[in-house]
């Protein structure tokens, strides 16, 4: 099968590019040049996970699809714009497959050289910090169809070793969802707001323990002030993609995780995973109210009044009209102690309610009395309690 496409090469006169679906490609410039087609290998999701850190992953879906959610670490190399994808899809449904392919080739042809240039730049960037320096890429689209096949063919012609994912992003999503159904060996860090649970997670990581930082993945700390300086949260789908890959890294290991409500800002922990966390041992840090209040003041007192006021107003319905008004008045007077004190009492009451439910329905709660919010001291105390508990069990 032969397809003749006209392309523009960086301001030079248009050249005819004769594309032949065979082991050879032919470029018509002043003379014919023949180049061998590199092998294109199809891989399963399991094989992809083994190769993922070795080669760059090229997502050839449209920018809109990629921005909504993608395989973490993948580069966007769209075959079609969002509008072009819509046009091709409409032709496929309303006319036929052949007409859609012709329209797709019409869009694809002028982009070929630029796509190769982008792929080379990605490869150069990726090879700076990875070994071995091999000219290989992993390509995928939504379901391993014509878009990934077309780009894989182009890069193969140019000399790349190309892997394509069977089932594409669709199969990756299936794999992600399956990770949330598994059982994990979690040790859960609990404690009222202001206990420094995230600092303890980081300390545990420094000591070589496996952790899952749900708040870091969600880009939100869970409370009214949770999104301050955290940037835009990922979509629910993107949150799940990142979380699934982290879970795969700790599947059989003891892993520390923070006790969270199912909702973290605008994203939700998948229900099966959240239930699994609830059934794991909880190490509850019992820290005095005033120490936790000072911890919160130190952490959030630096933010502008306007941002803090907006955060308080967001929970007005739950906090209550009178308490909200009082908290805002204290904030206006720069009285952070009383302002944050109102919020902390509210969160303590909510957490205590959840804690009682857990104590009655799910997991054993191991309380650890701490004098302060010192992450190093409290990490030692928690690990000591963990070791003692395991000795008793054995």
* pLDDT tens, per residue, the chain with 394 residues: 334 444 443 333 333 343 433 444 444 343 333 345 667 999 999 999 999 889 999 999 999 999 999 999 999 999 999 999 999 999 999 999 999 999 999 999 999 999 999 999 999 988 766 565 688 999 999 999 999 999 999 999 999 999 999 999 999 999 999 999 999 999 999 999 999 999 999 999 999 999 999 999 999 988 778 777 777 899 999 999 999 999 999 978 899 999 999 999 999 999 999 999 998 999 999 999 999 999 999 999 999 999 999 999 989 998 999 999 999 999 999 999 999 999 999 999 988 887 776 655 555 678 999 999 999 999 999 999 887 666 655 5
The predicted structure's pLDDT at residue 20? 37
How far is the CA of 380 from the CAs of 65, 78, 265, 278, 375, in angstroms? Answer: 45, 49, 30, 23, 9
Catalytic amino acids? 141
Rounded CA-CA distance 95/105 in Å is 16
Rounded CA-CA distance 239/179 in Å is 13
The predicted structure's pLDDT at residue 131? 60
Instruction: Give me the residue label for tokens 């300086």.
Output: 229
What dotted CATH number matches 37-175? 3.40.250.10
Nearest to 112 by CA among 203, 36, 9, 246: 9
State whether residue 285 is helix, strand or coil: strand
Rounded CA-CA distance 353/364 in Å is 16
**pTM (2 d.p.):** 0.87
Rounded CA-CA distance 378/259 in Å is 16
What dotted CATH number matches 184-393? 3.40.50
Rounded CA-CA distance 306/186 in Å is 39
The predicted structure's pLDDT at residue 48? 97
CB 201 within 8 A of CB 187: no
Measure CA 84 to chain center. Answer: 27
Question: Kindly report the CA angle at 387 between 386 and 392, in degrees rounded to 5?
Answer: 100
Structure tokens at 334: 């720069």
Contacts (Cβ under 8 Å, ≥6 apart) of 59:
66, 70, 71, 74, 75, 76, 77, 78, 140, 141, 169
Structure tokens at 178: 């399956």
Q: Where are the domains of the chain?
A: 37-175, 184-393
Nearest to 68 by CA among 58, 55, 59: 59
The predicted structure's pLDDT at residue 356? 72
Structure tokens at 228: 């301050």
* C-beta neighbour count of 132 within 10 angstroms: 7
**β-pairing verdict for 75-76 and 57-59:** parallel
Rounded CA-CA distance 194/172 in Å is 37
């Amino acid at each position: 099968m032969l397809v003749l496409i006209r392309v523009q090469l960086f301001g030079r006169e248009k050249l005819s590019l004769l594309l032949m679906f065979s082991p050879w490609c032919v470029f018509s410039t002043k003379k014919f040049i023949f180049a061998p087609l590199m092998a294109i290998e199809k891989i399963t999701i399991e094989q992809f996970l083994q190769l993922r850190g070795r080669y760059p992953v090229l997502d050839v879906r449209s920018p809109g699809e990629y921005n909504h959610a993608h395989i973490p670490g993948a580069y966007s190399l769209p075959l079609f714009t969002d509008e072009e994808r819509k046009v091709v899809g409409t032709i496929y449904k309303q006319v036929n497959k052949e007409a859609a392919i012709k329209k797709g080739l019409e869009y694809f042809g002028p982009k070929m050289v630029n796509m190769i240039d982008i792929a080379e730049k990605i490869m150069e960037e990726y090879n700076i910090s990875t070994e071995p320096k091999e000219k290989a890429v992993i390509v995928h689209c939504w379901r391993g169809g014509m878009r990934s096949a077309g780009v894989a063919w182009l890069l193969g012609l140019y000399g790349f070793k190309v892997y394509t994912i069977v089932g594409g992003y669709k199969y990756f999503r299936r794999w992600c969802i399956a990770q949330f159904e598994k059982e994990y060996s979690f040790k859960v860090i609990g404690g009222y707001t202001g206990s420094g649970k995230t600092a303890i997670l980081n300390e545990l990581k420094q000591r070589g323990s496996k952790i899952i930082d749900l708040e870091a993945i969600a880009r939100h700390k869970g409370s009214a002030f949770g999104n301050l300086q955290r940037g835009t949260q990922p979509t629910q789908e993107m949150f799940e993609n990142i979380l699934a890959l982290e879970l795969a890294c700790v599947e059989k290991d003891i892993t520390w995780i923070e006790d969270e409500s199912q909702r973290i800002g605008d994203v939700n922990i998948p229900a099966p995973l959240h239930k699994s966390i609830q059934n794991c041992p909880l190490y509850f840090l019992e820290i005095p109210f005033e120490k936790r209040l000072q911890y919160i003041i130190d952490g959030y007192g630096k933010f502008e009044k306007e941002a803090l006021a907006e955060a308080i107003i967001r929970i007005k319905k739950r906090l209550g009209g009178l308490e909200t008004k009082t908290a805002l008045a204290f904030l206006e007077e720069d009285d952070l102690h009383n302002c944050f004190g109102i919020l902390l009492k509210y969160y303590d009451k909510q957490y205590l309610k959840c804690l009682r439910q857990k104590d009655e329905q799910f997991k054993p709660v191991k309380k650890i009395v701490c004098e302060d919010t010192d992450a190093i001291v409290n990490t030692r105390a928690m690990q000591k309690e963990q070791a003692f508990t395991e000795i008793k069990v054995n």
